[in-house]
Structure 1
């Protein structure tokens, strides 16, 4: 199959859909809006991309045909980039950033919101990875994905609590029903932390029965930063007080992962598909601790904390048409266990029983996608029930044991009126949560006294996209989102070694509610794609960690608290095909978030940034097949740490800084796909931080006491087979 550059493929899809929208919306009530009827000239593009069908919308359809701001990243794009975690995979998208901790952790940030406010979905069903921790990574592997879909803005109508800021739907690789076997192997080496990634995935079937499977091992040493001056008290000079505690090779930043996915499928005679899937994410890692959070004085060298993550998931799913409705039942079981040592005990020492939190979560979800009814063009209706049972066995409570239940009904519909497409939804959630001392090894008094907390919330959304011409459209959305407080936020009590703080909950927290509005202009032609968006998100009862000013054993005490907040921002992305072999791109974003009571900045907001890029795809008929290259410049503005932000305490420490200066990074990429012994091999080279820039990323959780990673050369070899 001919390799198609991402920008060229998107151009064909968007232009085809602009034409489709202009014609289909002129026939309201036909129910044809969701159809992606590409012309023969675009057949190769359709084959390369597969079906373009996104989440967070009433009916499947292309990203361009949705009122919501949606992006889709295919597995091929993610792997060619050399991404090793989910945050890295998505952070080239305008308005999307990553909270990083070495190479093992990348937590997505969408329009300034992260953690519990972004819903991570597995094939449309919400997952939990104990994301209350700023360093708690999503328990999924990018190599095992078929594609990732990113929906910006409130998605609570379809996905309930925690989708207040957006949703990321992670879809596994498709089953190749009519091909005995197709797949690929991957080998990648990263020089910065001596990381080896080795994986294989395959899929196949005989038309009735099918399968897909994949496994990958990632093994990494310590990351390396530019070797600059460090500082420990007493200071040689006042000018060095904000110097990092550690530079060069950072000890205790290594990790090992073995992740896998296996599915079996069956197609019945009526066109229905039935699948059973098992996946597992198993990780061991160290986090570098700030001095003197461990057991030794700062001058004795780095200390770490070992953590052990295990996540298992079983999904039973089907898609079957009956009564003119396409039914999509899903039943998912997830088991997640997070174990963490006390500060100063690395993973090589084994588990010391400090923090041991495990939960089982069961989700039953039934969606029905229907065509025209009651004057509407079609939409999705559904019910969902989730129950979670958590236990805390460690000597430190931190997040306690308890139970969480959520029941919901929802409807999301659309209607085309000439050149206007309207999409609207409504949802009701009944959410219950209760801390349980009998499921907590060392319960705090708040857990012992805990009663059941109940939240009844109605959310809704209204969006529209208007086709001004076949190439230009305007879209607007308004949506109400909600998020119920978590067991951690209500009842936390203990030392959180990974962030060097004592954290405590508040059992009187109320649910967060938001009103999100955005307006965007979109342009798609054969040679240019562009989107410009402005948004405003007003959040009532915003939950945050407040620095109480108190300390426990020398660590600051952060307490969960609430206030009203507001975020205002803008994002821009442009791709321009200069000719057949050169594409230029640019992206920029700014977001301002503040507390409405005192005007203080909200925590964990990305610094304003601009990205400029060029992609080169010259033609070649020889051994150097499908050559490609890229250069990317990224500028990040300076940004001050905000009170109560994780690691903000380092602005007042005798070393380091939570505030960051502006900086520029240069990244290079290159690749080609030769045929060796009749077999195509995709070779890709990515050089991150080419100039070995000395900098601190504002969303890098090591920024308080170390520099961000230096130059990293990643070489990826992928060998497709079968097909």
Structure 2
């Protein structure tokens, strides 16, 4: 019996692994010479390989029709469609190019290269952002044109896309929406850069794809890929930051074989108070621990993966300039935040179609500790002369604010068989969320939120133009415990066009509506928000925010020059904002949630020049601007100042140092005088940065070394979106970052 069972299992296993072996080579189009170490990647299967020294590759995949992305530095990225089993060897020709290689855009539904995409999406590698010297991911994303960050010191930052932030910008990680009480100005991103491969930014309403909260745009974080088929890899890195006497370190390992693949990565980050030319900013210190793991399996007609991320952050909340020290343990008040992110992503492949099922569970536990909750507050100050004792906190102290947010979300999409020129996707998305208070302070009430949405979208390929269109319906209910039940619904749609209007000039025109249902804080707040020192009162009569945006993008590209111009106009009805009513409760000013129609407009201009024959030399320049006004002619709050960034970059390759680079960057931020009644203006300033790096061979393995410096001139400045601005507290001064990554 056991023998029969063994034979049956073997037969079943053989059927599961009935794969096709595709063989091919990659050649230079001009010289017809083989190209080694070229990346071959299949995005639908999330697997790939690289060519060997002779330009040859071999890959096992299942039967079906799949997209293949072939890319390498110095060559144009190529996208092609193959159907297995192949009748002959695959031969691929690549053309040389000084332009950076393209990647698949994952945040849009049809997973195309940006050059093929109807919607304009910005994508940046995290490795590139890290090279700029940013101490956190939230700071790193500000290097993307049109993206800024509302910051509280270095540890807390929230993305701002074209002037919109908080619940108007949806963050996706591991393929699922991140929910971590993002309504608050002092509530940060909650994601560590370790284990994140790239970032995609959709600027503008993406409610068609993601529902409520994507009214202002989407920040999509792509996790690191699993190892190529039948390979293993390991790496470790260490970064030191001179300004904060801080460091970040991480190590990871991944492997793939016989249809199974796994990875894991752990990281630790610690920083003391950041330094300006005049003082250290007290209690901007923080400590962050992060662990990411993934497991995947691929068989005939089926693939699945499961990922988990645990992030614990202890973040100081600065209030005023006080104690000057280099200790890394936060003082009171501080936040202690745990984020658990579970995600499951599976695909069933049929003959000419596929079904994607993504499930996510996010558990966010936010605790805030304050002075008057410390057990030792009544003891004589003479007992606290030891500086070390001042820094340490009893971990059993009761949190003043203790909220647990549990979110389950699902996303099911069916990719219909291609019908002529039409690619079509239909799907359903939804969310169940509970917010529960366990602390003494209750700012946001206990509540349960349920979302349900249904959508359909098509990409139509005409000879001269590509068209993408779609429609969606959403329904949300919010049950506030012992208070009220509310429901909201909305229909939204989008249509976009991409065409070449002249030789080498691509135009994209997108028109989209979006919406955002009022969040729990806006509806039910009733208490003092310690992070902002105000008493907030919600408004149960709030309506949906509803917007309509027109986005025009023009791009010219040849072998040595890229030019782009993006312009947008965003009309938002029932824009929700906080305003004081002149009263005080417990000595805190009272702020009420109100609504008013608003308009935002602006855009980005840029160029990238790499002159012939100096293809190793790059000059990049970008300008970004946004203006936000209410219909009553008052300016919207927290609108970033206009800025101009100029970068000179050198990229070289040699036998000793591979992928070497050096850059000098000058970012000029203009004065912000268009401010809300309750804001102050901001002065103009210039920040100079520089960096150098490259890849060496050490013991037959690659070691990446980087050195960068930000705010080289130690300029005294205050960013308009800094939450420390009302107190006149400066942003970080000169910082030198040294980083080493060793790969096995």
Match of 2:535 among 485, 496, 502: 502
Query: How do residues 213-612 of structure 1 correspond to structure 2 at under 5 angstroms?
Result: 213-227=264-278, 248-270=279-301, 272-290=302-320, 304-342=332-370, 348-349=392-393, 350=395, 351-373=397-419, 376-436=421-481, 448=482, 450-469=483-502, 471-578=504-611, 579-596=614-631, 598-612=632-646
Q: Give the Cα–Cα distance (whole angstroms) in 2 for the partners of residues 430 and 536 of structure 1.
A: 27
Moved more, 79-88 or 461-470: 79-88
- Provide the secondary structure at the position in 2 that maps to 1:78: helix
8 Å CA contact retained: 1:503, 1:557:
yes
TM-score by length of 2: 0.82
TM-score by length of 1: 0.84
Per the alignment, residue 98 of structure 1 pairs with 149
8 Å CA contact retained: 2:355, 2:415:
yes
Q: Give the Cα–Cα distance (whole angstroms) in 2 for the partners of residues 142 and 323 of structure 1.
A: 38
8 Å CA contact retained: 1:84, 1:142:
no
Query: How do residues 642-661 of structure 1 correspond to structure 2 at under 5 angstroms?
Result: 642-643=675-676, 648=679, 658-661=680-683
Return the structure number with greater strand share: 2
Cα-Cα RMSD? 2.7
Deviation readout 1:18-65 (Å, 9 max, x if unpaired):
xx9xxx9xxxxx9xxxxxx9953259999x96x832144341101122
8 Å CA contact retained: 1:12, 1:526:
no
Per the alignment, residue 44 of structure 2 pairs with none
Q: Give the Cα–Cα distance (whole angstroms) in 2 for the partners of residues 709 and 100 of structure 1.
A: 11
Distance 1:525 1:172, change over 3 A: same
Match of 2:715 among 677, 693, 716: 693
- Provide the secondary structure at the position in 1 that maps to 2:317: strand
8 Å CA contact retained: 1:546, 1:644:
no
8 Å CA contact retained: 2:76, 2:97:
no
Q: Give the Cα–Cα distance (whole angstroms) in 2 for the partners of residues 200 and 43 of structure 1.
A: 34
- Provide the secondary structure at the position in 1 that maps to 2:139: helix
Distance 1:172 1:360, change over 3 A: same
Distance apart, 1:673 and its partner CA:
1.8
8 Å CA contact retained: 1:146, 1:172:
yes
Match of 1:147 among 198, 203, 207: 198
Q: Give the Cα–Cα distance (whole angstroms) in 2 for the partners of residues 506 and 288 of structure 1.
A: 29
Per the alignment, residue 19 of structure 2 pairs with none
Per the alignment, residue 240 of structure 1 pairs with none
Distance 1:43 1:625, change over 3 A: closer
Distance apart, 1:323 and its partner CA:
4.7
Per the alignment, residue 229 of structure 2 pairs with 178
Per the alignment, residue 124 of structure 2 pairs with 73
Q: Give the Cα–Cα distance (whole angstroms) in 2 for the partners of residues 641 and 472 of structure 1.
A: 34
Deviation readout 1:369-423 (Å, 9 max, x if unpaired):
23423x5420321111210011012211111110000011101111122111010
Q: Give the Cα–Cα distance (whole angstroms) in 2 for the partners of residues 583 and 276 of structure 1.
A: 40
Distance 1:515 1:604, change over 3 A: same
Q: Give the Cα–Cα distance (whole angstroms) in 1 for the partners of residues 352 and 126 of structure 2.
A: 33
Number of residues of Structure 1 aligned to a counterpart in Structure 2? 644
- Provide the secondary structure at the position in 1 that maps to 2:522: helix
Matched, 1:116 2:167: yes
Per the alignment, residue 654 of structure 1 pairs with none
Distance apart, 1:577 and its partner CA:
0.8
Distance 1:204 1:97, change over 3 A: same
Per the alignment, residue 741 of structure 2 pairs with 718
Distance 1:75 1:559, change over 3 A: same
Distance 1:601 1:304, change over 3 A: farther
Distance apart, 1:678 and its partner CA:
2.4
Indicate the structure (1 or 2) with the bigger Cα radius of gyration: 2
8 Å CA contact retained: 1:326, 1:369:
yes
Distance 1:114 1:275, change over 3 A: same
Distance 1:371 1:146, change over 3 A: farther
Q: Give the Cα–Cα distance (whole angstroms) in 1 for the partners of residues 564 and 138 of structure 2.
A: 22
Unaligned runs of at least 5 residues, structure 2: 1-35, 40-70, 84-89, 324-329, 375-390
- Provide the secondary structure at the position in 2 that maps to 1:89: helix
Distance apart, 1:304 and its partner CA:
4.8
Distance 1:643 1:493, change over 3 A: farther
Distance apart, 1:497 and its partner CA:
1.7
Moved more, 659-668 or 574-583: 574-583
Per the alignment, residue 232 of structure 1 pairs with none
Q: Give the Cα–Cα distance (whole angstroms) in 2 for the partners of residues 495 and 11 of structure 1.
A: 56
Structure scoring higher RCO (CA < 8 A, sep ≥ 6) equals 1
Query: How do residues 148-227 of structure 1 correspond to structure 2 at under 5 angstroms?
Result: 148-227=199-278
- Provide the secondary structure at the position in 2 that maps to 1:452: strand
Distance 1:74 1:581, change over 3 A: same
Deviation readout 1:322-360 (Å, 9 max, x if unpaired):
252221101111100111123677984344321111111
Unaligned runs of at least 5 residues, structure 1: 25-29, 31-36, 228-247, 295-301, 437-447, 649-657
Q: Give the Cα–Cα distance (whole angstroms) in 2 for the partners of residues 418 and 38 of structure 1.
A: 26
Distance apart, 1:507 and its partner CA:
1.3
Moved more, 634-643 or 694-703: 634-643
- Provide the secondary structure at the position in 2 that maps to 1:368: strand
- Provide the secondary structure at the position in 2 that maps to 1:116: helix
8 Å CA contact retained: 2:75, 2:94:
no
Per the alignment, residue 236 of structure 1 pairs with none
8 Å CA contact retained: 2:231, 2:257:
yes
